Amino acid sequence: MSDHKILIVDDEEDHRFIIGECLKDSGFTNLAFATSGEEGLQKIAAEQPAVVLTDTNLGRMNGFEVCRRIKKEHPGIKVVIMTGDARYVDFPKAQSAGADEYKVKTGDCGEIIWALRRITANLDPEKAA
């Protein structure tokens, strides 16, 4: 479906795996992974993904801070902030950080996949890897 590179930043291995498999099954096969906000920022600088999916809770640097830094240093990269707990959804904070989307992680990744389809449909196909 999309050749655009997507970086998944999540400190939980099982979440990275599940999201990665859901995306592959939906045609998003150009994936990279990071286990922390710091590692994610390093991979962004090196690999220039089109979209970053970042969890909110990453340890020292949370997903909102990752998003702020991405938007400051790489404003063309799209960012989807994800949370595993619907009780703590903070849309204003995500909007303030510059997130393009803010989604709750589910087992089938449906909301994340739809967000990626909307985002990648509007990306320049020439910039796909």
The residues spanned by each domain of the chain are: 6-122
Name which of 34, 66, 56 is nearest 47 in CA terms.
34
| Distance (Å, whole) CA 123 – CA 88 | 30
Confidence category of residue 117, pLDDT binned at 50, 70, 90? very high
Tokens 């910039």 label which residue?
A: 127
Calculate the average pLDDT of the chain.
89
CATH class of 6-122: alpha beta
Q: pTM, whole model, 2 decimals?
A: 0.91
Secondary structure of residue 49 in the 3-state scheme: coil
Q: Give the pLDDT score at 104.
A: 81
Phi first, then psi: give them for residue 34, nearest 5 degrees: -140, 150
How confident is the model over 16-65, as pLDDT tens digits? Answer: 999 999 999 999 999 999 999 999 999 999 999 999 999 998 888 999 99
1 versus 96: which is more confidently predicted? 96
Exposure of 126 by Cβ count < 10 A (0-12 exposed, 13-18 middle, 19+ buried)? exposed
